[in-house]
Amino acid sequence: MFKDKTVLITGAAVGIGKACALQFAKGGANVILVDYNDEALAKTEAEVKSITGNVLSLVCDVSDNDSVLKVVESSISRFGKIDILVNNAALWRHYTAFVDTDIDTWKKFIDVNIMGTVYFTKAVLGNMKQNHYGRIINVASVAGVYGNPTMAMYSATKGAVISLTKALAKEVAADNITVNAVSPGTVSPAEQDDIDYVEPNANSYSGRTGSTRENADLICFLASDSAAYISGQNVQIDGCRKKI
């Protein structure tokens, strides 16, 4: 499905990002893995290498624009182009009441979740326009749609990612570039190695978590030619969310 296509995935070391790496590799893509957790990244790289030799893994903090520019330069020099960008890296495990959340933490969430997405998108867009082809998939969250209590800054950053998606999609549609967001509900724990792992969960009417493979498969679909006419959308993958 992705023969001759190159995908760059941020936050590729664990969870949804890792499942994406495996699923894109199985689909025949050249895969670029980006993460700041070098140990976990090396482990994932080894797994992807058992599927394809066309893999490049690069350590990078997505909130550092200079580092992002270097990653994109190395990726294009290795594979010649970037066809698909999955902006997946994010901070989210932080639960505090709004009144107790300090400003530095707000800024960190904005730097990683919003600016990391902005940096990578800006860095690849010129190449995509040149090739008159691109698929950008931003991993948002149901928190960005409904707003989660004790997660105001996370919710705000994911809401921003969804509106960025909608605005940018309109600007680049004529360049044959689609831009979509996916908003997971409760996903199986990222530390589970099995991408099909699910467990009971009361947040959805389905009564379970979503596997990382289910999330990755949605992302792969939006990156595929079958989704060429879908752009500017936020697709919720949440097992029919109950708690909002």
Ligand X SMILES: NC(=O)c1ccc[n+]([C@@H]2O[C@H](COP(=O)([O-])OP(=O)(O)OC[C@H]3O[C@@H](n4cnc5c(N)ncnc54)[C@H](O)[C@@H]3O)[C@@H](O)[C@H]2O)c1
List interacting residues with ligand X (CB under 6 A).
11, 13-17, 35-37, 40, 61-63, 88-92, 112, 116, 139, 141, 184, 186-187, 190
CB of 170 to ligand X, least distance (A): 23
What's the closest the beta carbon of residue 145 comes to ligand X, in angstroms? Answer: 10
- Residue 55 near residue 79, CB atoms below 8 Å: no
Tokens in use for 136? 């950008």
Question: Which residue reads 């209590």 in tokens?
Answer: 149
Q: How far is the CB of 58 from ligand X (least distance, A)?
A: 10
Of residues 95, 119, 154, 197, which has the active-site annotation?
Answer: 154
> Is 36 noted as a catalytic residue in this protein?
no
Residues in the chain: 244
Nearer to ligand X, 115 or 128 (CB): 115
Number of H helices, E strands in the chain: 8, 7
For residue 22, the minimal CB distance to ligand X (Å) is 13
User: With respect to ligand X, which residue has the nearer C-beta, 40 or 168?
Assistant: 40
Q: Are 89 and 62 in contact (CB under 8 A)?
A: yes
Of 56, 49, 2, nearest to 22 by C-alpha is: 49
Closer residue to ligand X in complex, CB, 89/133: 89
- Cα gap 83→33, rounded to integer Å: 14
* 4/38 with CB nearer ligand X: 38
Residues with catalytic function: 154
